[in-house]
Amino acid sequence: MALPSSESQRTIRFLEIARSTQTRLIDHNGNRQPDMGDSIAGASNLFRWEGSRRGARLGHIWRLCVLATRTSGNCSATVFLPDGTVRIVGYVEFDRAPDELAIVGGTGAYLGMRGSFTSQPLGGSPSTRSSDLVHLLR
């Protein structure tokens, strides 16, 4: 796809490692099972990643998903990076990979940005690690 000359691109790759103690089911009906309308909140640390090994800590991500089914939901996340934040939203099927969501804005160096976010789990199930790609357009 050719971009208009006024648009610039930027790609950021990172390794996401979930903080499993920071992931919580918000169980609205109290049955201790993930159901439609319940939420899952989580946090992960982000590290520089070139596809072969983990580098220095880059930032973190906070996310919240409202479940549509036990295995899917509407998710939103904020990626916190040293020079600003990136806002992500989209529908996720938890048992399907990779996840592809929209970038709808940001702050700091990412103000006015849009683009896509792709997350690919690494390792077997259940994995707490993923290789993530942020593709930004201005």
- Domain interval for residue 94: 9-137
Q: What is the CATH number of the domain that holds 15?
A: 2.40.480.10
pTM here is 0.85
Q: For residues 89 and 102, is the Cβ–Cβ distance under 8 A?
A: yes
Asked whether residue 109 is domain-assigned, the answer is yes
**Number of domains making up the chain:** 1
Q: What is the pLDDT of residue 21?
A: 66
**Using CA atoms, how far apart are residues 99 and 118, in angstroms rounded to an integer?**
6
Q: Find, among 54, 57, 50, 45, the residue nearest to 13 by Cα.
A: 50
Asked whether residue 3 is domain-assigned, the answer is no
Asked whether residue 50 is domain-assigned, the answer is yes
Q: What is the pLDDT of residue 8?
A: 73
Residue 71 makes CB contacts below 8 A (sequence gap 6+) with: 93, 94, 95
Convert the pLDDT of each residue in 16-43 to its tens digit: 988 766 789 999 989 999 999 999 999 9
**Using CA atoms, how far apart are residues 3 and 9, in angstroms rounded to an integer?**
9
Asked whether residue 4 is domain-assigned, the answer is no
- Rounded average pLDDT over 90-107: 92
Q: Find, among 100, 48, 104, 97, the residue nearest to 78 by Cα.
A: 104
Asked whether residue 13 is domain-assigned, the answer is yes
Asked whether residue 125 is domain-assigned, the answer is yes
Of residues 87 and 2, more confidence is placed in: 87
Asked whether residue 28 is domain-assigned, the answer is yes
- Is 14's pLDDT higher than 80? yes
Asked whether residue 1 is domain-assigned, the answer is no
